[in-house]
Amino acid sequence: MKNSIVVCTDLDGTLLDHDSYSFNAAKPTLEFIRNNQIPLIFTTSKTAIEVEELCKNTNFFHPFIAENGGLLSIPENYFSDQETTNKYIKHVIGKSRKEINHALHNLSLSYSFKSFNDMSNEELVKHTGLKPYQALYANQRDSTEPLLWLDDPTKLKAFAAQLEEHGLRLISGGRFHHVMGAHDKATTMTILLKEFKNYNNTEITSIALGDSPNDIKMLQTSDYGIVIPNPHAPKMCIDNHANLRVAEHPGPQGWNDSLLTLLKELIE
């Protein structure tokens, strides 16, 4: 193998089942990745505390990208010759949650929406399908704010334009819209891949997997992109990517089959 492989994957609807959040169908490929010592980078709109929980459940302790690129967390000593620990060091990128919600408060006078910050934990459980403690984790944010759009869909464009005046962006995910600073999964993935390149002193072959519009730039930026079908999100259109693939099945089953096929091609 000439290059080191790094896999960056979205979570909900991709590695995790859209409804049950299970990754059982992906276990064969997860084991292959572990056996071949391939870094698996969780890249998601979830919060750091949510992803750390998944790291424990899967026993994968690699850097991860949370809050749609707003947060980069790296295990202590990961890019050093010292022993790596399971303690994560946060690197915040973009606008703070406080700055975002200040802008949203002003815009709430003109538009109808409800952000995570304005929801009770019971409402979060209802809208996300998470357990109560998981909903609490989902609301421990550093640099993004998810919201439910309750207004006329035709007003979204004007809403996004006004957010830009505050230095903010609006990205559509599988369930929610996400308000954030001038960052996305791709920008933070690029920062992390440079760290891998510098530390390993070799070129990196990147693979990205995702299922919704907020994954498009990540897929475009990667050497190999795998689209996971998602019946709950708009169909993604990605042009001019020589190594783009579309999985046959949604969720972890499609993740497992398509990624394992690609990894075996690259390694063998």
Per-residue pLDDT of 161-216, as tens digits, reads 999 999 999 987 667 898 999 888 999 999 999 999 999 999 999 999 999 888 99
For the chain, list residues with pLDDT below 70.
1-3, 173-174
Count Cβ atoms below 10 Å from residue 228 Cβ, excluding itself. 29
Count Cβ atoms below 10 Å from residue 107 Cβ, excluding itself. 16
Among candidate residues 10, 12, 211, 223, the one labeled active-site is: 10
What one-character DSSP code corresponds to residue 228? P
pTM tops 0.75: yes
C-alpha R_g of the chain: 18
pLDDT of residue 214: 83
pLDDT of residue 173: 64
Contact indicator for 223, 207 with CB cutoff of 8 Å: yes
pLDDT of residue 148: 95
List the domains of the chain with CATH numbers.
4-93+184-267 (3.40.50.1000), 97-180 (3.30.980.20)
Please confirm, yes or no, whether 19 is among the known catalytic residues: no
Where do we find the tokens 């000593």?
Answer: 77
